[in-house]
């Protein structure tokens, strides 16, 4: 079954809401860890092997391939990844995607653009490329997540 652009937008919406919800659960002293694990299970394709995951705020262990390393990025508290402070625990108020393009090829969809994270009325822009694949249940899941801050030239 061919992937539609609407399906990609739905997964992006679920991703945004999931990240925000992890932070809300953390802030309310609820079980954010189990929620974050379910978030990864539903939206990333770790159940079928490696996912190419390059998170925004990682520089020492900037490439992650498995669920444990991705979970560490989202919620922190993992001695193997000391730089992880818990991206989702920043309690973002909202996240919105602005796609530059979505390309669909068979059971793969590629999306690139910016997403904007809002907290305390301030907006942080992140550049991203995500690749989605239809899994054996017919759902789209992320097989590549590459995100980073925009280039900022240094003034000499």
- What domains, with CATH codes, occur in the chain? 5-148 (3.10.450.50)
Q: How many CB atoms lie within 10 A of CB 70?
A: 22
Give the whole-number percent of the chain exceeding pLDDT 70: 99
Distance CA 44, CA 58 (A): 18
Mean pLDDT calculated for residue range 79-92: 88
Q: What is the pLDDT of residue 125?
A: 95
Q: What is the pLDDT of residue 129?
A: 97
Q: pLDDT tens-digit profile of 1-47? A: 789 999 999 999 999 999 999 999 999 999 999 999 999 999 999 99
Q: What is the pLDDT of residue 140?
A: 95
Q: Find residue 113's DSSP bridge partners.
A: 99, 128
Distance CA 10, CA 25 (A): 22
């Amino acid at each position: 079954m061919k992937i539609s652009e609407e399906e990609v937008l739905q997964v992006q919406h679920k991703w945004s809401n999931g990240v925000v919800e992890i932070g809300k659960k953390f802030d309310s002293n609820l079980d954010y860890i189990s929620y974050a694990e379910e978030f990864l299970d539903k939206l990333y394709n770790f159940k079928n092997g490696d996912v190419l995951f390059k998170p925004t705020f990682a520089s020492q262990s900037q490439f992650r391939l498995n669920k444990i390393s991705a979970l560490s990025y989202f919620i922190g508290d993992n001695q193997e990844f000391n730089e992880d402070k818990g991206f989702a625990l920043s309690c973002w108020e909202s996240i919105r995607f602005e796609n530059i393009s979505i390309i669909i090829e068979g059971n793969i969809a590629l999306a690139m653009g910016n997403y904007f994270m809002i907290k305390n009325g301030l907006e942080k822009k992140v550049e991203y490329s995500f690749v989605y694949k239809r899994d054996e249940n017919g759902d789209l899941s992320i097989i590549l997540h590459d995100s980073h801050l925009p280039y900022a030239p240094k003034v000499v």
